[in-house]
Amino acid sequence: MIFTTYWFFAFTALTLAVYWLLPVATLRWWFLAAACTVFHGHFAGPAGMAPIVVLMAITYIAGFSQKKWACLAAMILCGLTLCFYKYALFFIGIAIEPLSSGLAAQLSDAAKKIMPGAPPLGISFFAFEFVHYLFEVRRGGEPIRHPVKFLLFSIFFPSLVAGPIKRYPQFLAALETGSRQILASNFADGLRRIAIGFAKKVAIADNLTFLIDHQQPQFATLGLFDRWVFLAMLAFRILLDFSGYSDIAIGVAKLFGVDLPENFNWPYLARNIQDFWQRWHISLSSWIRDYIYIPLGGSRHGPVRRVTNGLIAFGLCGLWHGPAWNFVIWGLYHGVGLALCATYDKIPGVGPAISGLFKKEPTIGFVLTQIFVWIGWLVFFYPVAEALKMARLLFGL
């Protein structure tokens, strides 16, 4: 984890000191852009940096031109780049391998020769932010003309590692306002968030990881209560781990006077699946909504299209987490959950009754939502067959 390296601490401290010692905001932007480039170069290396620099240049030029076709072409390129670096081998495995294993092997070898050892650092975040930018410019939004500001939007180091996925109008407004004057409140809030983030990640999530890894092989031999405790540990591990990252990112950005979007809002207090997705990984779920679900037609063309669009959006949301079937299935699982959540009250007879019950006793909705979400984490973390077995064992089956 980059946030727990000494390099990150030293870099942040040094960059922060110079940033605030510079007399005017413009100089701060230039300096911060240079520092972010150093940061990206340090962790991504030349092979990881090169594709991002190319994408960044194309995105900037396409946005600058404000030509719809250019923006569309650049969006497609961003999508293809993401698919190539992150999913090429997965797609070859699922699409080509069943038809011709020889061809699949050849394509895999060819892809491996071109690819760096690992996908470029933050490729998913870059692709999503660039697509958002191009989409909005294509829709008539004002492009970022200042190259330094565009560079800062692209590689602002606190959000480069694990998000949150930024929106450029908010980011630029926050940068312009926050970088003008040093505020004790920003420092205090930033340090508080960083401390909370580290406590979540290092003190709790990492320890839960140890307990989970220790107990998982013996899951079948655990008592029923302990199995549910295990599931709770799994659920809180991912929440605290991921929201810990986000807290650190938001806190560090705050030290530079920049507000990043929140990523979590007490998701385990959600009363239904829709509510959950408005509280969990907010920057991703809102991106999926704005740039996949709604462009596909959203809920505008009847319940069948609505459900289909939801399933596509959430299948892709699952795939975003990694090139593996269990992530896709986890996404579809939530897609089905959302479809049920959006339509159950229309089921003749029982629908209104269930809806009435949930309204009268919201705790029932809360409990069912958490059970649904927590069981979903089994699919997220373990191979599907193993996850199903564990899910059965949770109910003593």
Partner 1 sequence: MSESTPQPANSVAGTAARPFFRPWTLLAGFLLGLGLMCWAGRTVTQRDLHPKDVRFHPMIAPDSQYEPTMGEMRAFVRARCRPDQILVIVGGNSILLGVGQPADRVWTRRLQEVLGERYAVVNLAFRGSSPTDGGAFVAESLRDEFPRQIYIANVAALQAADSIGIESYRFILFDAYYKGLLLPWAPRDQQLKDYLADPAYKAARFERRLGAQADAVLHFRDFWNWWSATKFFTFATPYQPDPNLAYRARAKFKDEETDYDTLPFDQRFSPSVIANDTLITRAYSANGYSKNAQDQWQLADASREQFLRYAANAFPDQLKPRTLILISRNSPYYTRQLEKDLQNRDETAIKDTIAGFEKFGYAALSYGQDFSPEDFGDRTHLTTAGGAKLAETTAPKIQALATQLGYLK
> Residue 221, interface with partner 1 (CB under 8 A)?
no
CB nearer to partner 1: pick between 2 and 231: 2
Cα 395 vs. chain centroid, distance in angstroms?
A: 31
> Residue 380, interface with partner 1 (CB under 8 A)?
no
Distances in Å between the Cα of 139 and the Cα atoms of 134, 135, 295, 325 are 8, 6, 12, 34
> Residue 191, interface with partner 1 (CB under 8 A)?
yes
Judged by CB under 8 A, how many residues of this single chain contact partner 1?
48
Binding mask 237-266 for partner 1 (x = CB under 8 A): ----------------------x-xx--x-
**Nearest-angstrom CA–CA distance, 228 and 388:** 15
Interactions with partner 1, residue window 112-131 (CB under 8 A): none
Burial class (CB in 10 A: 0-12, 13-18, 19+), 187: middle
Binding mask 327-366 for partner 1 (x = CB under 8 A): -----------x---x------------------------
Which residue in 16, 196, 294, 391 binds partner 1 (CB under 8 A)? 294
**Nearest-angstrom CA–CA distance, 94 and 97:** 6
Closest CA to 251 of 9, 1, 7, 6: 9
- Among 31-39, 91-99, 114-122, 191-199, the segment contacting partner 1 (CB under 8 A): 191-199
CB 17 within 8 A of CB 176: no
Q: Cis before residue 51, ω within 30 degrees of 0? A: no
CB nearer to partner 1: pick between 283 and 369: 283
Active site residue 40: no
> Residue 288, interface with partner 1 (CB under 8 A)?
yes
CB 296 within 8 A of CB 316: no
Distances in Å between the Cα of 118 and the Cα atoms of 24, 81, 131 are 39, 14, 22
Distances in Å between the Cα of 338 and the Cα atoms of 103, 278, 354, 358, 363 are 39, 12, 16, 16, 18
The catalytic residue among 146, 281, 321, 334 is 321
Interactions with partner 1, residue window 160-189 (CB under 8 A): 166-167, 170, 183-185, 187-189
- Among 87-95, 107-115, 133-141, 282-290, the segment contacting partner 1 (CB under 8 A): 282-290
> Residue 69, interface with partner 1 (CB under 8 A)?
no
> Residue 78, interface with partner 1 (CB under 8 A)?
no
> Residue 206, interface with partner 1 (CB under 8 A)?
yes
Closest CA to 227 of 392, 385, 381: 392
**Nearest-angstrom CA–CA distance, 265 and 279:** 5
Tokens (6 digits) for 261:
């979007």
User: Known catalytic residues?
Assistant: 321
**Interface residue list for partner 1 (CB under 8 A):** 5-7, 9-10, 42, 166-167, 170, 183-185, 187-189, 191-192, 195, 202-203, 206-207, 210-211, 213-214, 259, 261-262, 265, 274, 277-278, 282-283, 285-286, 288-289, 293-294, 298-299, 310, 313-314, 338, 342
